[in-house]
Amino acid sequence: MLELLVVLAIASMLAALVPPVLSAVVPGMKSKAAARELAAVMREARHLAISRSTTIDVVIDLETHTYAVTGDEPEDLPSGAVITIPGDAPTTLRFYADGSSNGINARLGRGDSGYTIAVDRLMGRVTVSEAQAVAR
């Protein structure tokens, strides 16, 4: 009987620890999923530009935290996720018929954590990497 009480006490302590751990992990997972989704949209836009021999834009709205390929409905970022583009960089990513682009470096995340989505100007290659913490 005593062994059963000890096991139940340990199980209840472990159960009490799980929610705080999960609540710290979930926002990071949402940011990573959102960064991958945005990168996939950018890759698809590049593919469309090449296959249609035309220019395709991906418009990023910093005010409403949405993004869209020109002509499509805007997609919302997950709740609490913020997208930033440094300096006076354009918020419209343009892919040309040869696969090149005007290039962009966007940061998507919450607080100090997040992901950088970079698009190469010459090749139009889209990469996602873990963002470096911002120096204070």
38 inside domain: yes
Q: What is the pLDDT of residue 42?
A: 94
Q: Indicate the number of domains in the chain.
A: 1
Q: What residues are paired with 113 via a beta bridge?
A: 110
Residue 65 pLDDT > 60: yes
CA-to-CA distance for 59 and 36, rounded, in angstroms? 16
| Mean local confidence (pLDDT), 20-28 | 52
| Mean local confidence (pLDDT), 58-74 | 89
Residue 23 pLDDT > 70: no
62 inside domain: yes
1 inside domain: no
Q: What is the pLDDT of residue 18?
A: 64
5 inside domain: no
Q: Which domain holds residue 45?
A: 28-130
**What whole-number percentage of the chain has pLDDT above 90?**
39
| Mean local confidence (pLDDT), 86-101 | 88
Residue 129 pLDDT > 90: yes
CATH number of the domain at 119, please: 3.55.40.10
126 inside domain: yes
Q: At 20, is the pLDDT very low, low, confident or very high (cuts 50, 70, 90)? A: low
4 inside domain: no
2 inside domain: no
